[in-house]
């Protein structure tokens, strides 16, 4: 597999579950900040953002379970790749590095793990940053009619185990590469070696990537719906930054997130989906502003 590492970061494999270790990059000093990647990427997507943050934070950047150089356990049941399990992984990673509280920022899939961490482990998550995604329950509700074609991959990978994996493996490089191309506004976000790294990493993880998405249509959705019925809320400061998907799909992102978070800031950004790599300085500023909202909080 074509692997890339972030300059200046120390790497280690951190045990989080039985026979499951996560590949984790760490650098910097100060309060802990965990950065979680999206699809179809690895921790490497944060390289430029992280370099802006290490002077003020201990920056912890893992590959999620099932992605990159982290373990890819077989999908034994719906819990193997539930966001509850993946969130617990992240809490254990931070704990193993000596942090029982941390800021958490996620993009896409990583943001969904972050939301679950905020709901399940509110005492651990000091603040939560979310890049370009909606809560699981809201995502499925806004994907209606022909406009839902933008998320066709979600429907494919929601199918029962077997056929989706076989279909994707048949054209895996083209499948994963299509998202890197379609969601990159001008085709300049990814240098060739980086684009190839993401494709190679994803091709090596077809089964676990599909299992992650399958969970989003099953156990993760059930958890979100139950939490919404119970009135569960994200109690920490939450910042959301995203493209203006709402104007295309007919929803108000700030309103949807506001139903989950009382202390919310929302801002649109003129960037594509891969905004952390397209506009790293702007995303670093977004994270810095979010962290400064809680700097006075005792740690």
CA distances from 26 to 21, 126, 146, 185 (A): 15, 19, 43, 31
Peptide bond into 237 cis (omega under 30): no
Nearest in space to 34 (alpha carbons), one of 113, 94, 121? 94
Q: What is the Cα 39 distance to its own chain's centre?
A: 8
Q: Which of 43, 57, 121, 273 is catalytic?
A: 273
Start-to-end CA distance of the chain, whole Å, equals 40
Q: Which of 63, 89, 108, 207 is catalytic?
A: 108
Task: Report DSSP letters for 51-110, one per residue.
Answer: HHHTTTSEEEEEPPTTSTTS------STTTT-HHHHHHHHHHHHHHTT-SSEEEEEETHH
Q: Tell me the C-alpha distance between 26 and 29, whole Å.
A: 10
Active site residue 108: yes
Q: Tell me the C-alpha distance between 18 and 11, whole Å.
A: 20
Active site residue 207: no
Q: Which residues are catalytic?
A: 108, 273
């Amino acid at each position: 597999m074509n692997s890339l590492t972030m300059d200046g970061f120390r790497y280690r494999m951190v045990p989080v579950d039985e026979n499951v270790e996560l590949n984790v990059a760490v650098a910097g000093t100060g309060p802990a900040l965990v950065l979680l990647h999206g699809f179809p990427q690895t921790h490497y997507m944060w390289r430029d953002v992280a370099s802006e943050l290490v002077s003020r934070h201990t920056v912890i950047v893992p590959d999620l379970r099932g992605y990159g150089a982290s373990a890819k356990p077989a999908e034994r049941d719906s819990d193997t790749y539930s966001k509850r399990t993946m969130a617990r992984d992240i809490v254990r990673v931070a704990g193993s590095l000596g942090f029982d509280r941390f800021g958490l920022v996620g993009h896409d899939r990583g943001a969904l793990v972050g939301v679950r961490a905020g709901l399940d482990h509110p005492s651990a998550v000091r603040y939560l940053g979310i890049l370009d995604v909606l809560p699981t329950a809201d995502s499925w509700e806004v994907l209606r009619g022909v406009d839902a074609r933008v998320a066709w991959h979600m429907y494919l990978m929601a199918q029962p185990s077997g056929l989706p994996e076989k279909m994707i493996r048949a054209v895996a490089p083209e499948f994963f590469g299509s998202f890197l191309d379609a969601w990159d506004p001008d085709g300049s976000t990814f240098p060739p070696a980086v684009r190839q790294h993401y494709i190679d990493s994803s091709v090596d993880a077809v089964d676990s990537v599909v299992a992650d998405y399958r969970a989003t249509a099953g156990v993760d959705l059930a958890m979100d719906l139950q939490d919404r019925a119970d009135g569960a809320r994200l109690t920490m400061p939450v910042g959301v930054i995203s493209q203006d998907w709402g104007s295309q799909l007919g929803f108000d992102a700030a309103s949807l997130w506001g139903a989950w978070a009382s202390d919310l800031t929302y801002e649109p950004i003129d960037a594509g989906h891969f905004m952390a790599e397209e506009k790293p300085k702007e995303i670093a500023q977004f994270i810095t502003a979010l962290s400064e909202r809680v700097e006075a909080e005792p740690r």
